[in-house]
Structure 1
């Protein structure tokens, strides 16, 4: 996903300095435009943050839906595919994914929109886990908590993954899938 230069520079500034430590003037200087040019495209700094967070969450949702559809009806295959797609997003779109830490800076209406998107992702994964429980594939007695734990673990990849680290994104995704399977009480073979 290619971000407009204004959004890309805003994302970098928010990640480096935090939302409250970033000014529209600073973003404009990074982009090489005037402050009014920023305001021509975005009403204010809050609009920049909200756009970035919603763009990120919609991308994760699209990838998760595609992974689920490609995996078919089998809950185990769907779960594996969705977790893998989320982790790969967190590693490959680290700058956007890391911004999730700034949801505390969203104004109430923007926060509500973002949380609704995040909740949709959680429910997609929860429906898959419940289907797996019904089929005897997953054994967790607390599917809601297990899904939240899986999502927090996946989101955490954006905090610690480094492109120059010892593991490639696909290897990290494989490991996170294994950890996630344990979290939902999968007792079958580790691969497959």
Structure 2
């Protein structure tokens, strides 16, 4: 989620209704085969997991899994698509809730990305580590969704610069840095850590805002 993205028509593009309560997370709403695959891919990796492993974990027979998905590759692609759909859906809903203020819009999307990578660590890990395991067409589709998220953040930074509320002359670079900050949460955040998710959001938003104001040359 840290690669330069093409222009987006508007950051609000796409449906938001499913994620109106974008700050609230429960268990991932995944079909049981995808939920079983997620657990197995996190523990053993894509190549270390067999269809038989997924079948056993989901309480199905191997033919039962193949009734729903034609291959392990199709399972991986469906899981990664579900991950990106949720990330983008929550980001769009956060943006829609933020009104017209460019700082509020920027902070809403960054907060949504932070919360997603704290609450969906397993999916974020698989999304990053197993992109290489996707077939070329599926990889291209995943990258397009990832780039859409990146474009949303970049456009918001550009809008803030145009409005005079952000100082960076490098909005695309800052967007990549902030995306990396958000993605990195998945590697070290723990629910039982010394700071709550809300406390970390406040801290990380302050860092994101500092990045948005950094790099001016005079």
| 8 A Cα contact 1:92 1:169, kept in partner | no
In 2: Cα distance, 1:156 partner to 1:143 partner: 20
5 Å-filtered alignment, 1:88-103, equals 88-100=115-127, 101-103=129-131
- Counterpart of 2:30 in structure 1 is 3
Show the counterpart of 1:66.
93
TM-score of the superposition, structure 1-length normalised? 0.93
> With structure 2 as the length reference, what TM-score do the two structures score?
0.82
1:79 aligns with 2:109: no
Q: Which has the larger helix fraction?
A: 1
Change (3 A) 1:186 1:67: farther
- For structure 2, the residue ranges without an aligned partner over 5 or more in a row are 1-27
| CA deviation vs aligned residue, 1:65-85 (integer Å, no higher than 9, x gap) | 111111111111011111111
Q: Which has the higher contact order (CA 8 A, sep 6+)?
A: 2
Instruction: Give the distance between the partners of 2:45 and 2:201, measured in 1 at CA.
Output: 28
- C-alpha separation in 2, matches of 1:107 and 1:169: 35
* CA distance in 2 between partners of 1:77 and 1:148 (Å): 19
**Residue 136 (structure 2) aligned to one of 100, 108, 124:** 108
The C-alpha deviation readout for 1:114-169, integer Å capped at 9, x for no partner, is 11111111111111100100111111121111101111110111111111111222
Matched, 1:52 2:98: no
Residue in structure 2 matching 1:28, options 50, 55, 59: 55
User: May I ask how many residue pairs the two structures share in their alignment?
Assistant: 187
Structure 1: how far apart are the matches of 2:81 and 2:53?
22
Distance 2:180 2:120 in 1: 16
**1:93 CA drift (Å):** 1.7
Structure 1 position 108, deviation (Å): 0.8
Unmatched segments (≥5 aa) in structure 1: 188-192
Q: For 1:167 and 1:42, locate their aligned partners in 2 and report how far apart those are by CA, in whole Å.
A: 40
Higher deviation after alignment, 137-146 or 178-187:
178-187
Q: CA deviation at 1:186?
A: 6.5
Moved over 3 A (4+): none
